[in-house]
Amino acid sequence: MRIAVSAMGRDLDADLDPRFGRAMYFLILDPNGTIEEVIENSTNMNAMKGAGIQAGKILADKKVDVLLTGHCGPNAFKALNAAGIKVAVELSGTVREALERFKRTDVKFAGGPNVEGHW
Amino acid sequence: MVIAIASGKGGTGKTTVATSLASVLGPNGRLLDCDVEEPNCHIFMNPELDTSVAVNLPVPVVDMEKCSLCGKCGEVCRFSAIVLIGDEVLTFPEMCHGCGGCSLLCPEKAIAEGSRLLGVVETGYSGAVEFVQGRLRVGEAMSPPLIKAVKEKIDPEKINILDAPPGASCPVITTVKGADFILMVTEPTPFGLHDLRIAVEAVSVLGAAMGVILNRSDIGTGDVERYCKERSLPLLMKIPHDRTIAEGYARGELLIDAAPQYRERFVDLSAHIAELVRQPGESYVEAAS
Ligand code: SF4
Ligand code: SF4
């Protein structure tokens, strides 16, 4: 299973970035917490519009199964949903903490966007 | 001739000026309300609207039977309105700018043209004055294509008064582009000056002749007038604050009806503008108040 986390830094102790589309990084982890890939999201961070869609595409292309994040807008959700990526929202703390919560199944999966656009 | 009425900020009296100027022109005038997000000239003009035409934007519709999942459509779109995700091409019609780039580039000719309703263009008459307005669909964010549709109703034989949206952003530029004259309506306050400056900078690249009307000219400071002098912007009219005007406005009356002494001043204004269009470069003139 490939788990993506929106993050403000490049390692497990970095804070989770609550914004999905405009997150600074995406860390792709395996369930044991091994970092398989670090993706810089700099082009989307400053995008006027469509950041969530492009970020969704990146994760779809990377064949991610689950996303752990804070907020996810409608367009991003549509893109992630089309890729079959499950979206856990309203997470905070560090990347490690988010992963632990996910493993304890102590997360809330979004059935739809949990914010209006611009995230 | 095309005269665009603009203002750096809302609420300066742009609509008041546009409606009175159009009204004194009678059958020679045509008023086009380009403030499509909030058209309000009709409140003062009471036009009889007899036509309403829908304006649509072409948006992509993908035939997945034909699609080879090459992803080219998503690469060309600058607005993320179409994107290949897995084995599906997703479209986000509300983000599309209708440029047609995706369908042009699709190697499989899998993209057909759908449409998104932007709003309507309505036309009619207010007395002898021809009246045109655009109304943006509620929830629609993209006004420039609708403004262009309103501007297609410009009659080169007439004096066309365009009421621009407030501000200095893309919809304003779309409106004033191609105008022979841009009339800025402002107030003599620090905010008025600040917004006037931004608006003048934004539209001056278009190279049209410009002039300024000072509304509520007896409040605030002399800074706007000094600025006009510095920039050689002719100050064409001053409208002092007046209870009769304010009350007329609240009742939806034209300025020239609420304060009939203004009728002649607006006739003079149109003549003055016509002169400035014929002979650009006239320097600062002092307006009578
Ligand atoms: S028409 Fe242009 S803006 Fe619309 S989806 Fe295609 S490429 Fe993007
Ligand atoms: S460009 Fe055409 S063929 Fe290629 S992914 Fe887009 S719709 Fe499919």
Are A110 and A72 spatial neighbours (Cβ–Cβ below 8 Å)? yes
Q: Is the CB of B72 under 6 A from ligand 1?
A: no
Count of residues for chain A? Answer: 119
Chain segment B190-203, per-residue pLDDT in tens: 888 999 999 998 88
Residue A81 has pLDDT above 60, yes or no: yes
Question: Does residue A100 have a pLDDT over 50?
Answer: yes
Give the 3-state secondary structure of residue A118.
coil
Q: Which residues of B243-263 are buried (b: 16+ CB within 10 A; e: fewer)?
A: eebeebbeeebbbbebbeebb
pLDDT, tens digit, 9 for 90 and up, residues B254-286: 999 999 999 999 999 999 999 999 876 554 455
Strand pairing report for A3-7 and A66-68: parallel
Q: Which residue has the tokens 């309203």?
A: A90
Residue B265 one-letter amino acid: R
Contact B120, B135 (CB under 8 A): yes
Q: Is any atom of ligand 1 closer than 6 Å to the C-beta of B79? A: yes
Chain B interface includes A50 (CB < 8 A)? yes
Q: Please return the burial class of B68, using the count of CB atoms within 10 Å of its CB with bins 0-12, 13-18 and 19+.
A: exposed
In the sheet that holds B111-126, the strands lie side by side as: B48-62, B111-126, B129-136, B29-33, B159-163, B2-6, B181-186, B209-215, B235-239
* Mean predicted confidence (pLDDT) in A85-100: 95
Q: Which of A22, A57, A81 to mutate to test the interface with B (most CBs of B within 10 A)?
A: A57
Scanning the structure block, which residue is given the tokens 């309403």? B52
- Regions of chain B short of the pLDDT cut 50: 283-284, 289
Q: Can you tell me the distance from the alpha carbon of B59 to that of B103, in angstroms, rounded to the nearest whole number? A: 10
B77 lines ligand 2 (CB under 6 A): no
Please identify, in words, the CATH class of the domain defined by B2-55+127-278: alpha beta
Which letter does DSSP use for residue B26 in this model? G
pLDDT at A61: 94
ipTM over 0.90: no
Question: In degrees rounded to 5, what are phi and psi of residue B182?
Answer: -115, 120
Structure tokens at B169: 């952003």
pLDDT, residue B22, reads 96
- Which contiguous run of DSSP H or E holds residue B199? helix B190-204
Q: Do A50 and B79 touch (CB under 8 A)?
A: yes
Cβ-based contacts under 8 A for chains A and B: 40
Q: What whole-number distance in Å separates Cα of residue A118 and Cα of residue A18?
A: 13
Query: In this predicted structure, what is the pLDDT of residue B284?
Result: 46
What single letter denotes the amino acid at residue B84? L
Residue in A closest to B90 by C-alpha: A79
Rounded CA separation B86/B79 (Å): 19
pTM to 2 decimals?
0.81
Name B205's Cβ contacts closer than 8 Å, sequence gap at least 6: none
Residue type, A33: G
Q: Which two tokens stand for residue A59?
A: 């994760």
Pick the more confident residue, B284 or A41: A41
Residues in chain B: 289
Q: How far is the CA of A86 from the centre of ligand 1 (A)?
A: 28
Q: What pLDDT was estimated at residue A111?
A: 79
Q: How many C-beta neighbours within 10 Å does residue B71 have?
A: 16
Nearest to A78 among B74, B84, B90 (CB): B90
**Both tokens of residue B16?**
């008041």
Question: Which amino acid, residue B132?
Answer: V
B222-249 per-position pLDDT tens digit: 899 999 999 989 999 999 988 898 899 9
Domain boundaries, chain B: 2-55+127-278, 64-109
Backbone conformation region of residue B207, classed left if phi is above 0, alpha if psi is from -120 to 50, else beta? left
Helices B262-278 and B14-25, axial angle in degrees (round to 10): 90
List B90's β-bridge partners, or say none. B83
pLDDT tier at A110 (50, 70, 90 boundaries)? Answer: confident
Domains detected in chain A: 3-109 (3.30.420.130)
CATH number of B64-109: 3.30.70.20
| Helix, strand, or coil (residue A119) | coil
Out of A47, A51, A53, name the one closest to residue B83 (CB): A53
**Rounded distance, CA B158 to CA B231, Å?**
30
Per-residue pLDDT at B287: 54
Cα B228 to Cα B11, B186, B214, B236, B279, distances in angstroms: 20, 11, 11, 11, 18
Average pLDDT over residues A71-98: 94
Give the pair of three-digit tokens for residue B201.
């900078």
Q: Out of A47, A51, A60, name the one closest to residue B85 (CB).
A: A60
Please give the Cα distance from A70 to A119 (Å, whole number).
10
| Rounded Cα–Cα distance for residues B82 and B97 (Å) | 11
Interior/surface letters A37-53, b for 16+ CB within 10 angstroms, e for the rest? eebebeebbebebbbbb
State the pLDDT at residue A117. Answer: 58
Q: What is the pLDDT of residues A5-37, one digit of tens each?
A: 999 999 999 999 999 999 999 999 999 999 999
